Amino acid sequence: MKTVIKTTDLSKVYTETAVPVHALKNVNIEFKEGEFTAIVGPSGSGKTTFLNVIGGLDKPTGGHVVIDGVDIATMKESKLFDFRMRHIGFVFQAYNLIPVLTAIENVSFIMLLQNRPKAEMENRAKEMLEQVGLSDKLDVRPSKLSGGQQQRVAVARALASKPDFVLADEPTANLDTESAFNLLDIMAKLNKEENITLIFSTHDHRVIERARRVITLVDGAVASDEHFERAER
């Protein structure tokens, strides 16, 4: 299967602090197309740092991140904006959505930045909102949606532009159990149906079991990397 992301000797040291923090230490990981991976580990183990670095939001201090044959670790910042927009989908812990745009406008937003034709954009946005079970909330603004619904819109937005992969940093952290399971189920379903590579971080044991690959980070290094066969739900 095709490799989507490959990191070699990836490291990140934060030096702005009094004592330098080694947030990532020589991380070598490969992500294949269509994988559904959970990054787990205790607080401060480097999950967010890892996702930021492979998502091009932050520069590593050493090593390489090769996506689609390109090393983004050395990419110019102006090029990175475009690269992120075309290749990577993001879901953050909270406040993902543009508050002044409706659900469908939020989902269309990246496609809009990509100058996609209007009709295609609308159809795709509707389709995605339907996939996440929000076809009745198209014209609703985020403030009128529950936390779980907002995260589902964010997932729909991240996937709508068909990126190479989607990074989700603790997408369920602010959700109750039911919403968290619901969101993960939707992500699992989309991962399968759209064949989009999904990587999410969590320290929520309830949702880890939904992933087919679980990478455990401890102190910025990979402690374990397990693959599971999951029964279809």
Partner 1 sequence: MKTLIKISWRNIWRNRSRTIVIITAIILGLMGGIFSAAMRLAMEQQQFEDTIDNQVSHIQIHHPEFIANPEAQYRIPGGNEIAKELKEREDITVASPRMVTDGMISSANMNSGVRIKGVDPVIESKTTGLDQLIVDGEYFTAEGRIPSILIGRALANDLNAGVGSRLVLTFQDIEGEMISSSFRVEGLYKITARRFEERTVFVKSSVINELIGEENAVTEIAIFLEEPDNYRSISRDISEIYPETKVRHWADLEPSLYYSLEVLNESLIWILIIIIMAVSFGLLNTILMSILERVRELGVLLAIGMKRARVFSMIVIETTIISIIGGATGLVLSWIMINILGNTGVNIPGGEGLEEFGYASVLYPRIETSFYFEIAVVIVIFAILASIYPAWKAIRLQPAEAVRQE
Ligand X SMILES: Nc1ncnc2c1ncn2[C@@H]1O[C@H](COP(=O)(O)OP(=O)(O)OP(=O)(O)O)[C@@H](O)[C@H]1O
Interaction site with ligand X (CB under 6 A): 14, 16-17, 21, 23, 41, 43-49, 203
Closest approach of partner 1 to the CB of residue 88, in Å: 8
Stretch that binds Mg ion, among 23-31, 33-41, 48-56, 189-197 (CB under 5 A): 48-56
79 Cβ partners below 8 Å, 6+ apart?
none
Binding to partner 1 (CB under 8 A): which residues in 35-64? 48, 52, 55, 57-58
Q: Which does 45 bind (CB under 5 to 8 A by kind): ligand X, Mg ion, partner 1, none?
A: ligand X
In angstroms, what is the minimal distance from the CB of 121 to ligand X? 33
Report in angstroms how near the CB of residue 95 gets to partner 1 at its nearest. Answer: 5
- Provide the CA 70 distance to its chain's centre, in angstroms: 19
Query: CB 177 → ligand X: shortest distance, Å?
Result: 19
**Nearer to ligand X by C-beta: 23 or 103?**
23
Q: Which is nearer to ligand X, 31 or 109 (CB)?
A: 31
- Binding Mg ion (rule: CB under 5 A), the pick from 11, 37, 48, 172 is 48
99 counts as binding partner 1 under rule CB under 8 A = yes
Query: Could you please report the per-residue DSSP string of the chain?
Result: --EEEEEEEEEEEE-SSSS-EEEEEEEEEEEETT-EEEEE-STTSSHHHHHHHHTTSS--SEEEEEETTEEGGG--HHHHHHHHHHHEEEE-SS--S-TTS-HHHHHHHHHHHTT--HHHHHHHHHHHHHHTT-TT-TT--GGGS-HHHHHHHHHHHHHHT--SEEEEESTTTTS-HHHHHHHHHHHHHHHHHS--EEEEE---HHHHTT-SEEEEEETTEEEEEEE-PPPP-
Number of residues near partner 1 (by CB under 8 A): 24
> Which partner from the list partner 1, Mg ion, ligand X, none does 44 bind, CB cut-off 5 to 8 Å by kind?
ligand X
Closest separation in Å from C-beta 12 to Mg ion: 13
